[in-house]
Amino acid sequence: MSQAFFVQFAASAAAIAVLVALAAWAKIAKPMTPLTDARAASLLAEEFPGRPIDRIWVAVDGRGALAKSGAAALVLCEVGDGYVARHIPWTQAVASSFRDGVVRLDLSDVAAPVARLALQNWPPAPGSDHDRRAA
């Protein structure tokens, strides 16, 4: 084998290593800051303009939120490096299963089939405002 072959082979291997390193670096997601009441309300207002928010519950870990808007429940849940916003009937949200501090909301969506929110208690007592934020 000639010296040119080894030079070309080494250059190709170096180029592949650079491309693999670039792909690995590009997949590193930025850590997201936990949701607050204000940030959740802002995201919900952006996704559902004109819908009034009656109450909002932010997950204990800050990875999602649930809001009551009339007869609808507005759901924010973390997916990848962003949030997904969906709406479901309020009665469905209240009837969702709650185990070990996590409420499981069936969103019936291919892209985000289930939302899991860590809340202190669920369902909320009717008319109680002391648990406006679940953190």
Range of the domain at 15: 1-30
3-state DSSP assignment of residue 68: strand
For residues 45 and 103, membership in a common domain is answered with yes
For residues 43 and 109, membership in a common domain is answered with yes
Strand partners, 82: 79
User: How is residue 33 written in tokens?
Assistant: 């800051």
Q: Let me know if residue 126 belongs to a domain.
A: no
For residues 45 and 4, membership in a common domain is answered with no
- pLDDT per residue as tens digits for the range 34-62: 899 999 999 999 999 999 999 999 999 99
The per-residue DSSP string of 24-57 comes to: HHHT-PPPPPPP-HHHHHHHHHHHSTTPPPSEEE
- pLDDT per residue as tens digits for the range 109-133: 777 788 899 998 887 876 654 444 4
Q: Let me know if residue 4 belongs to a domain.
A: yes
pTM value?
Answer: 0.70
For residues 53 and 110, membership in a common domain is answered with yes
